[in-house]
Amino acid sequence: MHSNRLGWLLLAPTMIILFFFGVVPFFYVIWVSFHQWNPFAANPNMVFNWASNYRQVVFDAQLLASLGVTFAFVFFAVVSELILGYLLAQAFMKDFPGKAFFRTIHTLPLIMAPIIVGSIWKLMTTPSIGIIPSLVQSWFGLDLNIGQSAAAAFITTVVMDVWHWTPLVTLSLIAALVSLPPDPFEQAQIDGANKRQIFWHITLPMIAPAVVATVFIRLMDALRTVDEVLMLTGGGPGSATRYIGVHIFKEVFPRTNYGYGSAISVVVLYMTIVICWLLYVGLIAPRNTRKG
């Protein structure tokens, strides 16, 4: 009994913080989402308006467009990060001179605040002063202008996200690869598997739990990207990079449309949960429920 009370006592600070910074805002957002609330509107007070914010969500063409580019962004970013992260993790599994040094500097993007990453990339991609348009011009003879070209802006945000978050994937895959026993790999060689077959039949299934966990983390993060993209493109040109997070930001802050912004947030949260659940059902659950 005594040790039980001590346990709750030790947990209390965390629970209190989680309650005020997690649980309360969560329910507050849901509550706000059922109200008409714009402090700068004719009526600045919160007015309960049933589900009309949600009705508006369904008919918001801008939101649907936003969701489309968001899914494209998340897909390209997370897939590239996985592939690149795996290749880097394999490279770091081998010994080469300066390995520790390279491994350290390769993780540096991770410790940068997204707003800084956005600023740096904005500086690097500004036409006529940035290094990237200059290199693209001299190597490929192309004009890179993320302020004008929707495709260029989209690709740049993906590349920026890949630059920022691949090290996370690399680190978690290194951890997974290091902990693998060597024997099944030697056995697979003897069993006649070539490198490609070993990857698909042995390596990938054995690191699958780590891969899925990493995909979950990256998926949830990428779905709510705001600050980097807002800094780099402001969601433009047009609405080419107006990802869902940016869309919500623009509804809530410049337009002070708190009620509607909250409703979108709740919908996006729900979609994120559904996507993760689908991934879980598709990737992890079959492994656990196979006939045994």
Which stretch in 29-37, 164-172, 204-212, 237-245 sits in contact with another protein by CB under 8 A?
Answer: 204-212
Cβ at position 184, least distance to another protein in Å:
5
Single residue of 152, 169, 202, 226 touching another protein by CB under 8 A: 202
d(CA 136, CA 134): 6
Cβ-count burial of 290 within 10 angstroms (0-12 exposed, 13-18 middle, 19+ buried)? exposed
Residue 89 in contact with another protein, rule: CB under 8 A: no
Binding footprint of another protein, residue count (CB under 8 A) = 22
Contact status, residue 243 vs residue 114, Cβ threshold 8 Å: no
Residue 97 in contact with another protein, rule: CB under 8 A: no
**Max CA-CA distance within the chain?**
77
How, if at all, do strands 35-36 and 47-48 pair?
A: antiparallel
d(CA 105, CA 40): 47
Cβ at position 71, least distance to another protein in Å:
30
Single residue of 2, 5, 94, 291 touching another protein by CB under 8 A: 291
Cβ at position 133, least distance to another protein in Å:
47
Single residue of 181, 254, 286, 289 touching another protein by CB under 8 A: 181
DSSP 290: S
Residue 194 in contact with another protein, rule: CB under 8 A: yes
Per-residue DSSP letters for 145-161? -TTT-HHHHHHHHHHHH
Which stretch in 21-29, 169-177, 178-186, 255-263 sits in contact with another protein by CB under 8 A?
Answer: 178-186
d(CA 43, CA 184): 69
Residue 191 in contact with another protein, rule: CB under 8 A: yes
Per-residue DSSP letters for 62-129? HHHHHHHHHHHHHHHHHHHHHHHHHHHHHHHHS--TTHHHHHHHHTGGGGS-HHHHHHHHHHHHSTTT
Cβ at position 183, least distance to another protein in Å:
4
Contact status, residue 160 vs residue 121, Cβ threshold 8 Å: yes
For the chain, what is the radius of gyration of the CA atoms? 23
**CA 269 centroid distance within chain:** 13
Indicate the residue among 124 and 283 with the shorter CB distance to another protein: 283
Which residues in the 271-290 window bind another protein by CB under 8 A?
287, 290
Indicate the residue among 150 and 188 with the shorter CB distance to another protein: 188
Indicate the residue among 68 and 209 with the shorter CB distance to another protein: 209
Q: Quickly tell me which residue has 């011009």 as its tokens.
A: 137
Residue 197 in contact with another protein, rule: CB under 8 A: yes
Which stretch in 117-125, 190-198, 215-223, 270-278 sits in contact with another protein by CB under 8 A?
Answer: 190-198
Indicate the residue among 170 and 203 with the shorter CB distance to another protein: 203
Residue 188 in contact with another protein, rule: CB under 8 A: yes
Residue 201 in contact with another protein, rule: CB under 8 A: yes
Contact status, residue 275 vs residue 226, Cβ threshold 8 Å: no
Residue 193 in contact with another protein, rule: CB under 8 A: yes
Residue 184 in contact with another protein, rule: CB under 8 A: yes
Residues that bind another protein (CB under 8 A): 181, 183-184, 186-194, 197, 201-202, 205-206, 208, 287, 290-292
